[in-house]
Structure 1
Amino acid sequence: MPTSNHQDWIRTASEIDRFERIEAFFNDHAYEPHRHDTYAIGRTLSGVQSFHYQGVMQHSQQGMTMVLHPDEKHDGESGTQDGFRYRMVYIEPAKIQPILKGKPLPFIQHGISTDPRLFKATNTFLQSIENHMEVLEEEDALYDLAMALNEISVQPLSQRLSFDYRAAEQAREFIHAVSERNISLDDLEKSIGRDRWSLSRDFRLLFGTSPHRYLTMRRLEKVKINLIKGASLVAAATDAGFYDQSHMTRHFKQAFGLSPAHWKKINHLP
């Protein structure tokens, strides 16, 4: 197991194909500004985890819960000279929507919460990544998390908007089915039978990002899995549907704040 004596490391739980859970240590600067289309939910185990969020520097310490909203830009660094250690789980909005029954996504103000309900609801996902999680355990934890997020969320104005959840979900399924193709909003419109701009608006509202960003992130998830399995950067890029390695690398850094080569170097399976 990696130690925390001034050497950065990331460890990824083995169930990365279901939920990506990590534990990591960073001594100083961790991530460049980036954004991903999942909720990033975590807690700091030691030290102070500092990050810019919606233009304000936030500081996560033990006892708090971080909830970074999909597509919100953020970075990461140590708030002290001792570095910081944390656990994080990345939750796709699409996994929460069947529980919320098509409501706009919950939003946690400032990206940090001290609410005990949320802290308790994240215990299962943020347990040691060495602990294997059974499918039913994950599903129960997902329900508890969705309910807690919904209870303490700042309700956005978008709650008043009308939207078509069924069409947005059909578009999401279509993207998964053709993730290696170069598709357009016109393809989505013809497949789903809903005006492309209304569909794009509803997709952003319900899944936290645009259709194109959603497609790109699914490809990047496949890249991560392939890199962990030992694939080269070139092979991981082409297998996931990117034009070439440089195309993949550009999107990887924008999504995760690290280059894929550096991410692969410091990542360890338990």
Structure 2
Amino acid sequence: MSDSIKVAPVSGGIERIEAHFHGDAFEMHRHDTYALGLTLQGVQAFRYRGMLRYSQPGNIIVLHPDELHDGGAGTDEGLRYRMMYLPPEMLAGALGERPRGLPFVPSPVIADRAFAANLADVMRDLDGAIDDLQLDDVLTGIADALLRHSDGGGRAPMKRSDQIAIRRACDFLQAHSDRQVNSDELETVTGLDRFTLARHFRSNLGTSPHRYLVMRRLERARAMIGSGRSLVEIAFETGFADQAHFTRHFKKTHGMTPGRWASLCGRT
């Protein structure tokens, strides 16, 4: 089978893909989400936190937000895998009062049947949506699994008022992702000073407010690729300065250019 990516419609805020690759697929890049995957066929090879890792069929891959990694097939057989991208703010309710910051899983390759079954269930039908009850169940299972495999580190839990402030910041950045947002605006929206907000963002979402804003722009841009608009138009409509600015951020986040992404998705 030729190299390809199947992208499911965004459902419940979660992105899901199935990918087929031979050789190297992605250059070094990073997401602001948890990347949770299942290797289905072949050997999945990737560099992560200074080491070359390998995942075989049945293994789970857990990549922490904002950690650099690449990816590709580890053998000539090629590779098939499914991956979901989970915004860390969606875990807040499921984690409850237990965590101390974002759960960090030291080993990015895990063998855990219950965790694998939970991920397989939500990634089985890439054409269908995730309904509300299923989403609650999935988030609970993922939260429990991340805590089970985490190193137990992190900072003390935030106050409820600070959690609400972070949620307000996320909502504001999503709603205004097509323009520049400044720190004064976020201070007004959240009631937190810019430095406290930045620290809470990093501890609980694994990224910065600025990068969160850029990632929301890229989400919109990915949805527009293949719509008939040029990359120049997409860059402008999603808040990037120009096509070069858009391409630079896209490659930094996805390990390939927007044109290559469109080709693999069959949208060219």
Question: Under a length normalisation based on structure 2, what TM-score does the superposition of the two structures give?
Answer: 0.91
- Out of 235, 251, 256, the residue aligned to residue 249 of structure 2 is 251
- Distance apart, 1:139 and its partner CA: 3.1
Residue from 27, 36, 39 that aligns with 2:34: 39
Unpaired stretches in structure 2, ≥5 consecutive residues: none
Which of 104, 124, 135 matches 1:138? Answer: 135
In structure 1, give the amino acid aligned to 2:178.
E
1:89 paired residue number: 84
Within 2, Cα distance between the matches of 1:265 and 1:146? Answer: 35
Q: 1:18 to 1:193 in 2, by over 3 A?
A: closer
Alignment of 1:1-270 (within 5 A): 4=1, 7-15=2-10, 18-101=13-96, 103=99, 104-156=101-153, 158-160=154-156, 164-268=162-266
Q: Is the 8 A contact 1:66 1:112 kept in 2?
A: yes
Contact 1:180/1:240 (8 A) holds in 2: yes
Bigger shift: residues 134-143 or 166-175: 134-143
SS at match of 2:83: strand
Per-residue deviation, residues 57-114 of structure 1 (Å, max 9, x unmatched) = 1001111100111000000121111111111111111111122237421111121111
Does the 8 A contact of 1:118 with 1:149 survive in 2? no
Partner Cα distance (1:194, 1:134) in 2: 34
Unaligned runs of 5+ in 1: none
* Residue pair 2:11, 2:130 contacting (<8 A) in 1 also: no
Q: Give secondary structure in 2 for the equivalent of 1:23.
A: strand
Task: Provide the C-alpha distance between the structure 1 equivalents of 2:175 and 2:68, rounded to a whole number of angstroms.
Answer: 28
- Between the aligned partners of 1:18 and 1:193, the Cα distance in structure 2 is 26
Q: Percent identity?
A: 41
Note closer, same or farther for the CA distance 1:135–1:190 as it changes in structure 2 (3 Å cut). closer
Quick check: 1:42–1:86 contact (8 Å CA) kept in 2?
Answer: yes
**What's the offset of the Cα at 1:19?**
2.1
Q: Is the 8 A contact 2:42 2:73 kept in 1?
A: yes
What's the offset of the Cα at 1:262?
A: 0.5
Alignment deviations for residues 2-43 of structure 1 (CA, whole Å, 9 cap, x no partner): xx2xx2110111346742111111110100000010111111
1:76 aligned partner, one-letter code: G
Contact residue 31 and residue 256 of structure 1 kept, 8 A: yes
Measured in 1, the distance between the counterparts of 2:198 and 2:224 equals: 30
**Secondary structure of the residue that 1:191 maps to in structure 2?**
helix
Letter in 1 for 2:181: I
Is the Cα–Cα contact under 8 Å of residues 12 and 135 in structure 2 kept in the other structure? no
Q: Give the Cα separation in 2 of the matches to 1:192 and 1:150.
A: 28
Instruction: Kindly indicate whether the alpha-carbon contact (under 8 Å) linking 1:53 and 1:110 is maintained by their aligned counterparts in 2.
Output: no
Q: Does structure 2 retain, via aligned residues, the 8 Å contact 1:58–1:110?
A: no
- Alignment CA distance shift 1:133-1:199 (3 Å): closer
Do 2:104 and 2:152's aligned partners in 1 also have CA atoms closer than 8 Å?
yes
Contact 2:11/2:129 (<8 A) preserved: no
